[in-house]
Amino acid sequence: MIDPKNDLQRLKDSKEFKEWLETHEESYLSDFFCILDKDSSDDNLWQIDYYNPKEDTMTSFELPADKRKKCKLKEAESKVFKHDAEKVKELELNNIKLNDKETMDRAKEFLKEKHPGEKPTKTILILQHNKELDKPIWNLTFMTGSLNMFNAKIDPEKGDILESSLKSAMSLKKEMLPGTKKPTAS
């Protein structure tokens, strides 16, 4: 289980983070990310990203959910996938009340109520600042046993489902990723 406020402090207390921060003082927290596919939530690795606005780069740290394991630098100063004029907002944790388990439990209840035949098999969970809603959200995606993708944006303070959708994973193949070009006929 990840409690963002407490577990961020665990990262900040690590030797790796302190050493990195000495030369990256302008960087700030942008998100928590995890693909939850392990039987035990303590086996999962969280990725915590810091954005450097001066260099327009992202640095990622691995934070094991298992509190006995150490944090480590995963990737330093990688390219950010966004439009050039777009700004990565800082993730503020002041009003975050729900941990990952509480968030997934709310989403599972909602999924069961709205789409009773769908059973989650894999979870992608991101805590980030949502630019459209202009607030932090848990952005959760369940891959279901029937090859559908359920996405929910969840208020991390109250647990309300702010938006949700269910799409066939096969339909996503037809959608173009931002920044890619459509193939031209030869």
* The token pair that represents 94 in the structure block: 């002041």
One-letter amino acid of 133: L
Q: Are 154 and 137 in contact (CB under 8 A)?
A: yes
**pLDDT value of residue 186:** 43
**pLDDT value of residue 82:** 66
Element (H, E) at 12: helix 4-12
**pLDDT value of residue 128:** 96
Per-residue pLDDT tens digits of the chain, which is 186 residues long:
778 888 899 999 999 999 999 999 999 999 999 988 755 555 678 999 999 999 989 999 999 877 888 889 898 888 877 666 678 899 999 999 999 999 999 999 999 999 999 999 999 999 999 999 999 999 999 999 999 999 999 999 999 999 999 999 877 655 545 554 554 444
**pLDDT value of residue 178:** 53
Q: Are 113 and 121 in contact (CB under 8 A)?
A: no
DSSP of 50-69: EEETTTTEEEEEEEESSTTS
The C-alpha atoms of residue 133 and residue 70 are separated, in whole angstroms, by 34
CA dihedral 73, 78, 82, 86 (to 10 degrees): 80
**pLDDT value of residue 138:** 97
Cα torsion 20, 4, 91, 121: sign:
positive
The C-alpha atoms of residue 91 and residue 115 are separated, in whole angstroms, by 31
The position carrying tokens 């394991």 is: 69
